[in-house]
A and B are shown apart, each in its own frame.
Chain A
Amino acid sequence: MATIFGCEIPEDRYYYIERSQMTWVKVEDSRVTIGATDPAQARAGRILFLRVKPAGTVRERGRPIATVESGKWAGPIIAPIGGTISEVNTEAEKEPSLLNSDPYGRGWVARMTPSAPEELALLLSGEAALAKFREVIVRDQIHCDRNPP
């Protein structure tokens, strides 16, 4: 686990860092689990609303798989790779603040079956991901807090 200015970044997964998106992707057998990162939840503030597209929804890379709302931000969570949503975290839909308190665990958003696993190569990992996080965290002055206001 790397830590950048207080933001935790696990090193066992891939990252999609584009525009407002800072999403993690963890490969588990033939599926991937997707969620928001620590700096993403901190920047958004306390998350009040999460709606995920239903299981069975086919999404191309770059299309929304969920909508998130906090008191100061509303936006999509974008599919980092294309595929079919196979499971939705209904616990997090009922308790959206799980995205704040446990972004890499109980606050996961959706599981997908990738249609083109080679798209994982388009995501960042390792030192390249950490460098990009460092750039965004400094630029946006993000201070990670698992219990944001």
Chain B
Amino acid sequence: MPTPPDPTGKRVLMIITTGPDEPDKSYAPFFTAALMAAMEIETTMFFMVHAPELLKKGAAEKIPLKQGGSLKHFVDMAIENGVRLLACAESIRDLCGLRPEDLLPEVKIIGAPTMADLVLDADAVLSF
């Protein structure tokens, strides 16, 4: 199990909208989230528009990075450090054409109202 965040710590919400079409933009959010989670910041990544496609089973392995390796290394690192992965139900269905079971088991699917609560509860919101 990942290390739980410090209950007295801060909360950061990261909103990711870019999908596999822009691989250069794909890894920085996962790396940043992993680092913040390691610093005991409660870190949530919310994937919407085409970003949920990054979370499709087997997709990250097929996204090569210029520095070598694939995006999977960074997805795994974020999960291991305890980053929470949330994905937009509407984007998954209407824009990505995916079914919930197509996504990694660590991903929780939520709707827009829940996202609104997360934005208001966070100490900082980062948009990628």
List residues of chain A with CB under 8 Å of any chain B CB: 19-20, 51, 62-64, 67-69, 71-76, 78
Instruction: Given A51-B39, A67-B35, A69-B35, check contact A75 B69 (CB 8 Å).
Output: no
Give me the interface of B with A, judged by CB distance under 8 Å.
3, 31, 34-35, 38-40, 67, 69, 73, 77, 80-81
Q: Within the assembled complex, what's the spacing in Å between the Cα atoms of A122 and B69?
A: 35
Complex: chain B residue closest to A62, CB-CB: B3
Q: A71 — which chain B residues lie within 8 A by C-beta?
A: 67
5 more A-B contacts (CB under 8 A) besides A51-B39, A69-B35, A74-B38? A64-B39, A67-B38, A71-B67, A74-B34, A76-B39
Please, which residues of chain B bring their CB within 8 A of the CB of A76?
3, 38-40, 81
List A contacts of B77 (CB < 8 A): 20, 73-75
Q: Is the CB of B40 within 8 A of A64?
A: yes
Considering the complex, give the chain A residue whose CB is closest to the CB of B30. Answer: A74
* Measured CA separation A81–B115 after assembly (Å): 38
Residues of chain B within 8 A of A72, CB atoms compared: 67, 69, 73
